[in-house]
Chain A
Amino acid sequence: MKKIYMFIIVLVVMIFLTGCWDQNIYEKIGFILNTGIDLGSDDKVLITQSYPIISETAGNSGGGGPDESEGIKVETIRAKSNLLRESREIFRLSTSLKLEGGKLQSILIGSDFARERNISEYFELYERDIQSTVQASVVVVDGNASELITKGARFKGKPRLGIYINEVLKRNFMAGYCPDTDIIEYDIINTTPGISPIVPMIKLEGNNIKVTGTALIDRDKMTGQLDTGETACLYLAMGRTKQSEIIFDLPEDIQSEKKKGAVFTRKVITKSKIKFQDNAPTIHFDIKPKVILDEYTWGDITDPEYQNKLEESLNTHIEKCLDNTFKKLQAAKCDAFGIGDKIRAYHYDYWMSIGELDGWKKIYVKMTATFDVKSQIVRYGEIK
C-alpha cells in the first residue's frame, strides 16, 4: 500500500516541476503609469504611454553628475492604432520591459477625442481584464494628451509624471477644485440614466501641469467645462464638504485695496427639493455653508451688522456663481446633480411620460433652478 502512495506523490510532484505558465516576474515589468488617448488620422487613435525607468543609477542618491540621458526617469512611447491592446502589442515589439497596465494611475483623454468619440469605449478593456485596475483616474486634457505626456516625462525637479499628476489631482480634489472620477465610477454613472459624469481637466502650462477645472460629459462625449471656482460652488450645491477657498467681493462700503475676501468652507448642509409646476419640474436648493474667515482686511467681525454684511455679499457671490454654473450645465446637457435620476426614482410615471432619457434631456435644458445660500461665518482666526 505504501508504495502506491509514494508513486502517486512522485507523479504529482513531477507535474508541478514542469514549469510555471503564468509567471510574471516583477522586475521585468514596465508599469504603465499613464495612458493618453488622442484622435489620430484615418479613424485611428494615438495612444501614448509612459512608464518609469528602473535604472541602477537612478536609485543612488546624489551620484556623480548625471548627464542629460541619465536624468530621464520616465519613458514615453506612442503609436497609432485602433485598440489599446493593439498599441500595447506594438510597444512590446520594441521595449526591453514587458509593459503591463496593472498599476495605471490615470488615463488622459485629449479634448478633441473627448468631444468627438465615446469615451467609455476605451474603458472596456480595463473592466474586462481582471489584472488591470479600475481605480485609475479619468482626466481630460485641455489640448493634446500626447504632448502633455511626452513633455511631462521630461520635467526636471518634479516627481515622476504619473505620481505628479496623481498628487496634483488628489490635492485639488480635496479642495473641491476638480472632481475625482475613476474608471469604474465613470462607467457606473455613465450607464445610469438621469445622471452624467464630470471629469477633471488639466492643461500643460510651460513646465507645469495645471488643473483647470471640470469637463462636463453628456452621453459619453465632452460638451462643456467649468473652471475651478465654479466647481467649488458646484460641490457646495451638492452638499459635499470640501476644503475650498471661496473668493468673494467685499461689500461696497468697506474700504480696502484688496476688494475681495476669502473664506474657507468648513461644512455645508444642502437640501434640494424638486417641485412640479405645470407639469414641469423645478429644483430648489437650500445651501447652508459654515465658513471660516480667512483673509479680508482689518475690521471688526464681532460686530453683528458687519458680519451680516459680509455674509450677504458671500451669499450673493455664491448664488450668482451657481446660476452661471447651472446655465453652463444646461448648455452642456450635463445633469451633474442627478436630477433626472431622482425623478426616475420618485416620480416614475412622469419620467416615463416624458419619454425617459431623451425626453429628459430636452426638459433639462429648460429647467429652472433656484439657489438659496445662507452662509455663516463661524470662526475668524486670531484677530477680529
Chain B
Amino acid sequence: MWHCPMTKPEGGVTVKEDNVNLITSKQAVVFIMVTQNGVGILYLPSDMAGHAGHDGWIPVIISGVLSLMVSLAIIALCRRFEGQSILDINRIIFGKFISYILNTIFIIYLFLAAISNLGVLASSIGVWFFRSTPLWVLALYIMLPSVYLASKGLKGVCRFNFLIVITIPVLLSSIALNIHNLRLTNLLPVGVHGIDEIAEALPHTLFAYMGFEALLFLFPFIKDKQRIVKHVMIGSITVTLIFTGFVAASIAVFGEDLLAKRIVALVGLARMIEVPVFERVDLYYFAIWIAAMLLAVNAYLFLTFNTVKKVFKIKSKIILLAGIAFIVLVFTSKLSEDADTIFQINHYSGDALFLLGVLYPILLLIITLITGKGVKKT
C-alpha cells in the first residue's frame, strides 16, 4: 500500500522504495541504541571481570569513547558522498565488480550478526526457561514478530523500538533494587590491574557495542541529516554510561572473583531481588529482557533483508524474507546447541565488526580524503 513516487535512480543501488522508508535521525539513533543494548550486555560484566578484574569498567568506557569516534568517522564518510549508503559508496570508489564482492562480504557479516544475536536469544530462553525443548522450536517461535516487522519496512522496525523505554528502566531497576548489596570496596583500589590487562580486555567489549555500524546502511534513510551528529553523540554517550554503570554495579555487588565465575550478570542480579508479594521477580526480568534482545534481532534481520534486496535486486519480498529467515534459523539452531560455540560466534562477530565496521570505514575515509573522490557538493 505504499504509494511510491518514482525517482530516477542515479545508477546506484538505491531503490525507489527507500524514499518512503524515511526516518528521523532520532529514530536512527534509537535503532543503534537498541541494537547495542540487547544482547551484548548479558556477557559483558563477567567477561570484563574475568579479564580485567575489578577494573573491568575501564575498558568499557574506553570502548564507548572509541565507538563514538568511529561513528563520527562513518558520518563524515557518508556525508562526503551526499548521504548514500556503504553499498553505493563501494560502487563509486571501486567500480562495479569489486563492489559486488565487498557488498557480499557485508551481507555475510550481517547474516553473522543476525545469527549470533538470535543464537544468544534462543539459547538464553533455553537456559532460563526450557531445558528440554529443541532450540529450533524456540528460535522459530521467537522469530515470528521479527519476521513480521521486517516485512513492514524500516518505519515499522523503528516504531517498534519505542519498547526501549521499558527495557532500559528494567536494566537500571535491577541495580536500583540491589543498592543495599552494593559494596564500594569491591571496586577499589582503582587501576591496580595494569594497562596490559585493560588492553587485553578491550577486544571483548566489541561485541557489546555492535550496532554503530548500522549507520553505514541507514544513512540514506535519514530525513534530517544535519542533526545526526548531535543525536549520535547523545545516544552513544547514553549507551556508554549505561554499560559502564551496569558493569561497575555488577562488580560492586558480586566482587571480581564471583562475577568472573558467572555467565550472565543480569540473571544474578535479578535472582537477588526480594519483593514483598511476588517473592521472586527474576521470571519477569527475563521475560522483559527477551523483548530487549528481540529488538536487536529485529534490527539485524531487517538490515540483512534490505541489503540483500538491494544488492541482488530481488523483486519478490515475501520469498526473500522467508529465505533469509530460514537460513538464519537453520544456522542458529545448528550452532547454538553448544554453549561454547555461541561464545565463539560472538567473538567472530566482534572481530568482523572490527574489520568491517571500524577499520574499513576509516580506510575509506582516508582514501577519499587523499584522492578526493566523492560527490562534489553543488
Binding site for B on A (CB under 8 A): 1, 12, 15-16, 20-22, 127, 130, 133-135, 184-185, 187-188, 191-192, 338, 341-342, 344-346, 348
Which are the 5 A-B pairs with shortest beta-carbon distances? A345-B188, A345-B185, A21-B132, A22-B130, A21-B133
Instruction: Select B185's contact among A16, A20, A184, A342, beta carbons within 8 Å.
Output: A342
Complex alpha-carbon distance, A338 and B183, angstroms: 11
Q: How far is the CB of A245 from chain B (nearest CB, A)?
A: 25
Separation in Å of the B337 CB from the closest CB of chain A? Answer: 15
CA distance A135 to B270 in the complex (A): 11
Q: Is B148 an interface residue (CB 8 A)?
A: no
Q: Which residue on chain B has the smallest CB distance to residue A5?
A: B318
Residues of B within 8 A of A16 (CB): 137, 141
Name which residue of chain A comes closest to B54, CB basis.
Answer: A345
Using a Cβ–Cβ cut-off of 8 Å, how many residues does chain B contribute to the interface with A?
33
The answer on a CB contact under 8 Å between A135 and B271 is yes
Q: A78 CA to B57 CA in the complex, in Å? A: 46
Contact partner, B131, options A20, A22, A184, Cβ 8 Å: A22
Can you name 5 A-B pairs with beta carbons within 8 Å?
A: A21-B134, A22-B130, A133-B271, A135-B272, A345-B185
A348-B272 contact, Cβ under 8 Å, with A21-B130, A22-B131: no
B66 at the interface (CB under 8 A from A): no
Does B186 touch A at the CB level, under 8 Å? Answer: yes
A191 in contact with B255 (CB, 8 Å) = yes
A191 engages B257 (CB within 8 Å): yes
Chain B residue nearest to A133 (CB atoms) is B280
Residue-wise, chain B 134-178 has the 8 Å CB interface mask toward A (1 for contact) of 100100110000000000000000000000000000000000000
Cβ B133 vs Cβ A22 within 8 A: yes
Known A22-B131, A338-B185, A345-B184; 15 more pairs at CB < 8 Å:
A16-B137, A20-B133, A21-B132, A21-B133, A21-B134, A127-B262, A130-B127, A130-B267, A130-B282, A135-B272, A184-B271, A188-B255, A192-B183, A342-B185, A348-B192
The reply to whether A184 and B133 contact each other, CB–CB distance below 8 Å, is no
B137: A residues at CB distance < 8 A: 15-16
Partner of B132, one of A22, A192, A338, A344: A22
- Which chain B residues have a beta carbon within 8 Å of chain A's beta carbons? 127-134, 137, 140-141, 181, 183-186, 188-189, 192, 253-255, 257-258, 262, 267-268, 271-272, 274, 280, 282, 318
A338 neighbours in B (Cβ, 8 Å): 185
With A21-B133, A133-B280, A135-B280 known to touch, is A184 a contact of B268 (CB < 8 Å)?
yes
- Docked Cα-Cα span, A184 to B268, in Å, equals 9
Contacts of A135 in B (CB 8 A): 271-272, 274, 280
Contact of A192 among B127, B131, B140, B186 (CB under 8 A): B186
Task: Find chain A residues with CB under 8 A from B129 CB.
Answer: 22
Given contacts A21-B132, A135-B280, A341-B185, is CB(A192)–CB(B272) below 8 Å? no
Give the complex CA separation of A126 and B189 in angstroms: 31
B258, A191: Cβ atoms closer than 8 Å: yes
Inter-chain CA distance A135–B279, complex, in Å, is 10
B251 to chain A, nearest CB (A): 11
Chain A residues whose C-beta falls within 8 Å of the C-beta of B274 in the assembled complex: 135
Determine the distance from Cα of A203 to Cα of B87 in the docked complex, in whole angstroms.
Answer: 74
Main secondary structure of the interface of B (DSSP, over half): helix
Bound together, the chains give a CA A231 to CA B280 distance in angstroms of 29
Set of chain A residues within 8 Å of B185, measured between Cβ atoms = 338, 341-342, 344-345
Nearest neighbor of B185 in chain A, beta-carbon distance: A345
Docked CA distance A90–B45 (Å): 38
What is the distance, in angstroms, from B125's C-beta to the closest C-beta of chain A? 11
Closest to A190 in B: B258
| A residues near B133, Cβ cutoff 8 Å | 20-22
Task: Specify which chain B residues have a CB less than 8 angstroms from the CB of A346 in the assembled complex.
Answer: 188-189
Closest to A12 in B: B140
Report how far A333 CA is from B310 CA in the complex, Å.
70
Of the candidates A22, A188, A344, A346, the one having the most CB atoms from chain B within 10 angstroms of its own CB is A188
Residues of A within 8 A of B280 (CB): 133, 135
Nearest-CB residue, chain B, relative to A344 = B185
CB distance from B131 to the nearest CB of A (A): 6
In the bound complex, CA of A15 to CA of B139 (Å): 13
Q: How far is the CA of A310 from the CA of B185 in the complex (A)?
A: 38
Instruction: Decide if B272 touches A345 in the complex (CB within 8 Å).
Output: no
Minimum CB–CB distance from A127 to chain B (whole Å) comes to 8
CB-based contact A345/B254 at 8 Å: no
Residue ID in chain B nearest A126 by CB atoms: B271
Contact B271 A188 (CB under 8 A): no
Q: What distance in Å separates the Cβ of A360 from its nearest Cβ neighbour in chain B? A: 14
**Minimum Cβ distance to chain A for residue B67 (Å):** 31
A188 near B127 with CB under 8 A, answer no
Residue of A at shortest CB range from B279? A135
A192 touches B255 (CB 8 A): yes
With both chains docked as a complex, state the minimum distance between the C-beta of B292 and any C-beta of chain A, in angstroms: 18
Whether B189 pairs with A345 at a CB distance below 8 angstroms is: yes
Q: Considering the chains assembled together, what is the distance between the CA atoms of A134 and B131 in angstroms?
A: 19
**CB-based nearest A residue for B129:** A22
Q: A338's closest neighbor in chain B, by CB?
A: B185
In Å, the complex CA distance between A134 and B282 comes to 11
- Using Cβ atoms and an 8 Å threshold, which residues of chain A touch B262? 127
A188 to B268 Cα, complex, angstroms: 11
Per the bound structure, the CA–CA distance linking A135 and B254 in Å amounts to 15
> Within the assembled complex, what's the spacing in Å between the Cα atoms of A134 and B141?
30
A134's partner among B130, B132, B257, B271 (CB-CB below 8 A) is B271
The CA-CA distance from A185 to B254 in the complex, in Å, is 9
For the complex formed, measure the closest distance between the CB of A94 and the CB atoms of chain B, giving whole angstroms. Answer: 23
Which A residues lie within 8 Å of B189 (CB)? 344-346, 348
What residue of chain A has the Cβ atom nearest to residue B270's Cβ? A130
Q: Is B192 touching A188 in the complex (CB atoms < 8 A)? A: no
Write the chain A residue with the least CB distance to B126: A22
B178 to chain A, nearest CB (A): 10
Residues of A with C-beta under 8 A to B186: 192
Chain B residues in 8 Å Cβ range of A134: 271-272
A141 and B183 alpha carbons, distance in the complex (Å):
29
Residues of A contacting B254 in the complex (Cβ-Cβ under 8 angstroms):
188
A116-B181 Cα distance, complex, nearest whole Å: 29
